[in-house]
């Protein structure tokens, strides 16, 4: 008798015994209960489809970025009634998913139920609890960004021009809703970012957009475009003038407060840790990286201060500028990942590098990645030049050193955001493809910087390590600043000083980063996500070979798409009672 046949007989015998035993104990659900469970299971899958389609209707800008171009040109209803309607809809969705009990769902579906709940809770926090549509102009920034029509070549140029024209026609009404929603007086930093984001769109509308669509020969289409674009330009100029008019009365009242900040962490990231403990965890990581920087500087520039050491490293500027050097770095990084077997690269997609448009220059680098419904389109890694209004000294200092740029490229592309989205876009769940959370996305990208140094990127050179550590310290100070500014323990000026003194940032970057923390309180997610991923890696690989299992860990972690990391921890370590940090 073969081993396989023997095994089948043993399993059959055991199974028969279990059936008999369970029948005696009456634990097997009656036939009608089994039918109900199967029905509920099918109902869940149907519900997910319904949830997504309803979400696209409520958030057509989100749908367009995901690649659902039947929503091209549409913007959400941001009227007070429209926002109330969306809050009501989300509460109804929350009630619906509460009706799907564990017993009626399989493991995948239970995970998806918790995933949907996190999306709903996150949206409700910003809409209802934080009242962000009425407090922050940045609430609308991604939605009014027309980049998808301009730079994403998802369709012929004339089709994208039609889509952009529809978008431009919608801008005046949208801007009117935004202006009516924003409560005055606004915080100073909110006024400034409003001027940067909305005012920056003016030149983009006036110069960049017409040049991109100039080759379209359809006269009527060009006429319609010109009329719609002029309306969008006027609306944005009026909005920018309005922001300027708010400067005199602007305040320093931006803080969420400790209760709302804790609620934000729980609702958006499923992190329920007391703020004092969380702040201590962040400062511990800050101290760890400061000690590592001191050691690296002892090798790289012995006998000088840390500040002088950092200045020396940062004075080694990218040859040909950061955009050109970043292009060179991407090929080397991809080869390194493959050689070292860091993580699987699914697919053959590549990322391009370009200079950031004016309206998106409030942070040095970011990447624009096509959505899961798009096929064969490139991602674009944008790098922002210095603000022309800055002094020449500030402009020169703003351009990072070679080491810092290398780990920025790690963060944005290989194996950071770009690779993570390659995995997310191939997730078995549409939820994982569409909803990638802040801590998952930025935590992964930031995590990869130190991880790549640990596996040998930089060849052990102190200058490269300093570059990696400066990126880590930047995120460490964000972590501390977010908590302390929004709980009233730190002013914007004190945060700026901390970015200078402990983050070793240049003056312009320090000012920019401190201001960002006021309107982006969740930017602690870079370090918070990194720390949760490191702890999960440590726990998951402990019984799987340690560092030898890092590639397996990375592949397993990325397959979930982008839910709150505590949900991934629960799925990867079922029954685990370990801590998040």
Q: What is the pLDDT of residue 38?
A: 54
Residues near 193 by beta carbon (within 8 Å), at least 6 away in sequence: 137, 138, 362, 515, 516, 519
Half-sphere exposure of 428 (CA within 13 A, CB side): 8
Q: Beta strand 351-355 with 365-368: parallel, antiparallel or unpaired?
A: unpaired
Single out the residue of 199, 212, 147, 160 nearest to residue 382, CA to CA.
Answer: 147
Using CA atoms in the order 378, 379, 385, 388, what is the torsion angle rounded to 10 degrees?
80
Single out the residue of 477, 573, 472 nearest to residue 524, CA to CA.
Answer: 477
Q: 339: how many CB neighbours lie within 10 A of its CB? A: 9
Q: What is the pLDDT of residue 563?
A: 98
Maximum distance among all Cα pairs of the chain, rounded to whole angstroms: 90
The predicted-structure confidence for 35-80, as pLDDT tens digits, reads as follows 445 556 789 999 999 999 999 999 999 999 999 999 999 999 999 9
Mean pLDDT of the chain: 92
- Residues in the chain, overall count: 581
Strand partners, 366: 382
Single out the residue of 561, 567, 565, 570 nearest to residue 420, CA to CA.
Answer: 561
The residue to which tokens 């802040």 are assigned: 438
What band does 26 get if pLDDT is binned at 50, 70 and 90?
Answer: very low
Three-state SS for 107-148 is: HHHHHHHHHHHHHHHHHHHHHHHCCHHHHCHHHHCCCCCCHH
The whole-angstrom separation of Cα 282 and Cα 268 is 19
Q: What is the pLDDT of residue 360?
A: 67
Percent of the chain residues past pLDDT 90, beyond the cut: 86
Give the pair of three-digit tokens for residue 125: 């926090």
CA dihedral over 90, 96, 101, 106, signed as positive or negative: negative
Percent of the chain residues past pLDDT 70, beyond the cut: 92
What band does 151 get if pLDDT is binned at 50, 70 and 90?
Answer: confident
The whole-angstrom separation of Cα 116 and Cα 111 is 9
Single out the residue of 114, 120, 108 nearest to residue 41, CA to CA.
Answer: 108
The predicted-structure confidence for 322-370, as pLDDT tens digits, reads as follows 999 999 999 999 999 999 999 999 989 999 999 987 666 666 899 999 9
Higher pLDDT, 221 or 509: 221
**Centroid of chain to Cα 367:** 10
The predicted-structure confidence for 178-210, as pLDDT tens digits, reads as follows 999 999 999 999 999 999 999 999 999 999 999
Q: What is the pLDDT of residue 30?
A: 44
> What mean pLDDT comes out for the span 91-98?
97
The whole-angstrom separation of Cα 581 and Cα 578 is 9
User: Which 8-state DSSP code applies to residue 9?
Assistant: H
Q: 441: how many CB neighbours lie within 10 A of its CB? A: 19
Q: What is the pLDDT of residue 390?
A: 86
Q: 508: how many CB neighbours lie within 10 A of its CB? A: 19
The residue to which tokens 């000690």 are assigned: 291
The whole-angstrom separation of Cα 498 and Cα 476 is 10
CB-based contact 474:514 (threshold 8 Å): no
Segments in 250-382 forming alpha helices (H): 258-269, 275-300, 306-314, 322-340
The predicted-structure confidence for 288-320, as pLDDT tens digits, reads as follows 999 999 999 999 999 999 999 999 999 999 999
Q: What is the pLDDT of residue 12?
A: 37
- Residue 368 zone, left/alpha/beta (φ > 0; ψ -120 to 50; rest): beta
Q: For the chain, what are the domain ranges?
A: 3-58+77-137, 143-245, 263-572
User: Which 8-state DSSP code applies to residue 155?
Assistant: S
- Give yes or no for residue 99 having a pLDDT over 50: yes
What values do phi and psi take at 251, rounded to 5? Answer: -120, -175
Q: What is the pLDDT of residue 209?
A: 96
The whole-angstrom separation of Cα 362 and Cα 384 is 8
Q: Counting runs of H as helices and runs of E as strands, what totals does the chain give?
A: 26, 3
Note the pTM of the prediction, 2 decimals: 0.90
The predicted-structure confidence for 403-443, as pLDDT tens digits, reads as follows 999 999 999 999 999 999 999 999 999 999 999 999 999 99
What values do phi and psi take at 426, rounded to 5? Answer: -110, 10
Strand partners, 365: 383
- Give yes or no for residue 162 having a pLDDT over 70: yes
The residue to which tokens 């009516």 are assigned: 180
What band does 577 get if pLDDT is binned at 50, 70 and 90?
Answer: confident
The whole-angstrom separation of Cα 219 and Cα 227 is 12
């Amino acid at each position: 008798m073969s081993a396989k046949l023997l095994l089948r007989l043993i399993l059959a015998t055991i199974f028969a015994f279990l059936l008999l035993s369970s029948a005696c104990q009456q634990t097997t659900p009656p036939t009608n209960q089994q039918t109900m469970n199967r029905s509920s299971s099918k109902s869940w899958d149907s519900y997910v489809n319904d949830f997504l389609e309803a979400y696209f209707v409520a958030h057509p800008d989100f749908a367009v970025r995901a690649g659902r171009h039947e929503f091209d040109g549409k913007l959400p209803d941001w009227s007070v009634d429209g926002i109330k309607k969306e809050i009501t809809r989300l509460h109804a969705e929350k009630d619906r998913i509460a009706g799907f009990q564990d017993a009626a769902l399989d493991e995948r579906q239970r995970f998806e139920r918790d995933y949907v709940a996190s999306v709903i809770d996150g949206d409700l926090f910003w809409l209802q609890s934080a009242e962000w549509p009425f407090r922050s102009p940045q609430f609308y920034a991604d939605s009014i960004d027309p980049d998808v029509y301009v730079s994403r070549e998802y369709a012929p140029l004339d089709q994208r021009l039609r889509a952009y024209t529809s978008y431009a026609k919608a801008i005046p009404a949208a801007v009117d809703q935004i202006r009516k929603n924003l409560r005055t007086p606004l915080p100073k930093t909110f006024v400034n970012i409003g001027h940067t984001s909305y005012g920056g769109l003016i030149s983009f509308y006036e110069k960049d957009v017409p040049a991109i669509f100039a080759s379209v020969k359809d006269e009527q289409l060009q006429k319609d475009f010109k009329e719609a674009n002029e309306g969008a330009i006027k609306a944005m100029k009026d909005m920018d003038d309005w922001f300027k008019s708010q400067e005199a009365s602007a305040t320093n009242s931006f803080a969420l407060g400790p209760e709302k900040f804790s609620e934000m962490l729980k609702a958006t990231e499923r992190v329920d840790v007391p703020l004092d403990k969380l702040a201590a965890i962040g400062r511990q990581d800050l101290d760890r990286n400061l000690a590592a920087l001191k050691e690296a500087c002892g090798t790289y520039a012995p006998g000088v201060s840390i500040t002088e050491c950092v200045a020396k490293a940062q004075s080694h500027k990218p040859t040909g500028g950061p955009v050109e050097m970043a292009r060179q770095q991407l090929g080397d990084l991809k080869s390194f990942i493959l050689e070292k077997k860091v993580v699987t690269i699914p697919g053959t997609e590549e990322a391009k590098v370009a200079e950031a448009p004016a309206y998106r220059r409030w942070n040095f680098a970011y990447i624009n990645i096509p959505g899961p419904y798009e096929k064969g389109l490139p991602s674009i890694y944008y790098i922002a030049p210095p603000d022309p209004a800055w002094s020449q000294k500030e402009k020169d200092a703003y351009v990072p050193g070679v080491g810092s740029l290398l780990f920025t490229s790690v963060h944005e592309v290989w194996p950071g955001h770009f690779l993570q989205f390659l995995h997310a876009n191939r997730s078995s769940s549409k939820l994982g493809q569409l909803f990638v959370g802040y801590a998952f996305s930025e935590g992964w990208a930031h995590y990869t910087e130190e991880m790549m140094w640990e596996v040998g990127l930089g060849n052990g050179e102190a200058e490269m390590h300093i570059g990696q550590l400066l990126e880590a310290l930047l995120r460490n100070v964000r972590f501390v600043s977010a908590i302390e500014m929004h709980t009233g323990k730190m002013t914007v000026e004190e945060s700026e000083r901390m970015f200078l003194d402990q983050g070793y940032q240049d003056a312009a970057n320090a000012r920019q980063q401190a201001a960002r923390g006021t309107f982006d309180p969740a930017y602690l997610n870079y370090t918070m996500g990194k720390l949760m991923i490191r702890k999960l890696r440590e726990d998951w690989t402990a019984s799987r070979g340690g560092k030898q299992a890092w590639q397996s860990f990375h592949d397993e972690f990325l397959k979930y798409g982008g839910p709150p990391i505590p949900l991934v921890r629960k799925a990867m370590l079922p029954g685990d009672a370990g801590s998040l940090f």
